Amino acid sequence: MLLNETKAHVDNLTSPVGHAVTVIRLEGDIGSASEAAVLGTYKSLPKATSKLILLDFTKVDYINSSGIALVIQLLIQADRSGQKVSAFGLSPHFTKVFTMVGITKYAGLFPGQTEALAAL
């Protein structure tokens, strides 16, 4: 059971080399009830201008297996759309879990926003 409702909001940033970057900032717990916040927010992005996407997990407290499945769905859809996705702000535990389930095939994982932006 998730204790903290998932929230998401979108920021638009510019990478150090001038690329437009869309940041999806997630907050709370991520599980099966988080589809609207995770996939809904992603699907609402304008595909033409959202080529570089960062997922911000710094305010995410917990991710269960259903939540990981939602993140994987997002990454597969982004890959099919030619979008590049990176993630940052994961705890060491979830960095390990994301690596074990193969998320790193679709997204780079970074400790913070600065490192993620620099890699774009």
Does residue 2 lie in a domain region?
A: no
Report yes or no on 73 lying in a domain.
yes
Count of the separate structural domains present in the chain = 1
pLDDT in tens, 16-37: 999 999 999 999 999 999 999 9
pTM summary value:
0.95
Q: How far apart are CA 88 and CA 46, in angstroms?
A: 22
14 burial via Cβ count (<10 Å: 0-12, 13-18, 19+): exposed
Tell me if 26 is assigned to some domain: yes
What is the distance between the alpha carbons of residues 48 and 51, in angstroms, rounded to a whole number?
7
- pLDDT > 70: what percent of the chain? 98
CB 29 within 8 A of CB 6: yes
CB 12 within 8 A of CB 35: no
Give residue 3's pLDDT band: very low, low, confident or very high (50, 70, 90). low
CA atoms of 4 and 13, how far apart (whole Å): 27
Q: Is residue 1 part of a domain?
A: no
Instruction: State the residue range of the domain holding 32.
Output: 7-115
pLDDT at 1 over 70: no
Please indicate, yes or no, if residue 105 is contained in any of the structural domains. yes
Q: Is residue 38 part of a domain?
A: yes
Q: What CATH number is given to the structural domain containing 35? A: 3.30.750.24
